[in-house]
Amino acid sequence: MWGKASGEKHIVCGAENLFRMKIYRVQKETIVAVCDSDLVGNIFESGDFRIEVKEDFYGKEEYGSDEVKRALQIATIANITGEKAVRLAIEIGIIDRNNVLKIGRCWHAQMVTI
């Protein structure tokens, strides 16, 4: 897992925003799935759009914003869910604020490098 030595337990301290994150490596791609921790287990719908924020996709471990920023900066594909996570991606310049979907109260964006 990201930022963790083998056998070491991952602990995030402090009152910062917490995110769930999972990194997938498929062939030459680094896929980062990240969401606001408090959204896991929820389903959001708006018109034809529906998003289910599942723990098996976004992961069980919580990460701070610095770890998420580092992972997103090396991602070739990113799936970003939740207002805090999307704002973080906008802040580091990988998402344009005009390309953010709002599905109910849930913000969502995706990024692919070409």
Q: What pLDDT digit, counting tens, does each position of 25-59 carry?
A: 999 999 999 999 999 999 999 999 999 999 999 99
Higher pLDDT among residues 27 and 3, named by residue = 27
3-state secondary structure of 58: helix
What is the band of 6 on the pLDDT scale with cuts at 50, 70, 90? very low
Tell me how long the chain is.
114
Q: Are 33 and 75 in contact (CB under 8 A)?
A: no
- 19-112 is classed CATH 3.30.1860.10: yes
Q: In terms of Cα–Cα distance, which of 17, 6, 5, 24 is closest to 62?
A: 17
Domain boundaries, the chain: 19-112
Q: Are 41 and 53 in contact (CB under 8 A)?
A: yes
Q: In terms of Cα–Cα distance, which of 74, 73, 95, 98 is closest to 84?
A: 95
pLDDT at residue 15 greater than cutoff 60: no
